[in-house]
Amino acid sequence: IMSQHIFTLFILLGILYLAPNSEDIRCKCICPPYRDIEGQIYNQNVSLKDCNCLHVVEPMPVDGKDVEAYCLRCECKYEERSSDTIKVTIIIYLSILGLLLLYMVYLTLLEPMLKRRLFGHSQLIQSDDDVGDQQPFANAHNVLSRSHSRPNMLNKVEHAQQRWRRQVQEQRKSVFDRHVVLS
């Protein structure tokens, strides 16, 4: 289910990004200092065909015959952006970050408290020991000989979550405690 969600997220992202951009266009003309006129930047919301010095530089600081010389020095660039893409991206990112933060707070603070209240202190210790200290070089023999029959779980999500947490604990041991990988 998780991978399907991620897949749909990718497709959504793809559709959003490849959709036509909103009307965020501008023509930016940069005119360097000329005689006693200082350098100026002119921005205007014009389309590509109107993106030249004559349309964008208003008011024109020089007059008459100097306009051409002034405009020759100016460099006009047409730029386009998509503010919708940026907005959607930031919102998606912040929401995922927020969800992860909430889940992290739940996992580290709330869940042990809830478990302790519901099941008592002894169960908590036992489940910690159960995870055990498994070497990454665990023999398949040891794994099999523990004779776990396939658990009849009513809640498959609980089972998957347990497996994932064991996996993360293994990874944490390898990386942080034993410094075996990714030193």
Partner 1 sequence: MEEEDAAADPYLPYDGGGDTIPLQEIPRRGSNYAMSNGGGVASSTTHLLDFLEEPIPGVGTYDDFHTIDWVREKCKDRERHRKINSKKKESAWEFTKSLYDAWSGWLVVTLTGLASGALAGLIDIAADWMNDLKEGVCLSAMWFNHEQCCWTSNETTFAERDKCLQWKSWAELILGQAEGPGSYIMNYFMYIYWALSFAFLAVCLVKVFAPYACGSGIPEIKTILSGFIIRGYLGKWTLMIKTITLVLAVASGLSLGKEGPLVHVACCCGNIFSYLFPKYSKNEAKKREVLSAASAAGVSVAFGAPIGGVLFSLEEVSYYFPLKTLWRSFFAALVAAFVLRSINPFGNSRLVLFYVEYHTPWYLFELIPFILLGVFGGLWGAFFIRANIAWCRRRKSTRFGKYPVLEVILVAAITAVVAFPNPYTRQNTSELIKELFTDCGPLESSQLCQYRSQMNGSKAFTDNPNRPAGPGVYSAMWQLCLALIFKIIMTIFTFGLKVPSGLFIPSMAIGAIAGRIVGIAVEQLAYYHHDWFLFKEWCEVGADCITPGLYAMVGAAACLGGVTRMTVSLVVIVFELTGGLEYIVPLMAAVMTSKWVGDAFGREGIYEAHIRLNGYPFLDAKEEFTHTTLAREVMRPRRSDPPLAVLTQDDLTVEELQGVINETSYNGFPVIVSKESQRLVGFALRRDITIAIENARRKQEGIMLNSRVYFTQHAPTLPADSPRPLKLRSILDMSPFTVTDHTPMEIVVDIFRKLGLRQCLVTHNGRLLGIITKKDILRHMAQMANQDPESIMFN
Question: Is 167 a residue that touches partner 1 (CB under 8 A)?
Answer: yes
Q: Is residue 98 a contact residue for partner 1 (CB under 8 A)? A: no
Nearer to partner 1 by Cβ, of 105 and 124: the residue is: 105
Residues 6+ apart with CB under 8 A from 66: none
Is position 160 an interface residue for partner 1 (rule: CB under 8 A)?
yes
Q: Is 70 in the site for partner 1 (CB under 8 A)?
A: no
CB of 162: closest distance to partner 1 in angstroms? 10
Taking each continuous run of H as one helix and of E as one strand, the counts in the chain are 8, 3
How many other C-beta atoms lie within 10 A of the C-beta of residue 115?
A: 14
For residues 93 and 120, which CB has a smaller minimum distance to partner 1 in the complex? 93
- 110 touches 51 (CB < 8 A): no
Q: Is 42 in the site for partner 1 (CB under 8 A)?
A: yes
Q: In the complex, what is the shortest distance from the CB of residue 120 to partner 1, in angstroms, rounded to a whole number?
A: 25
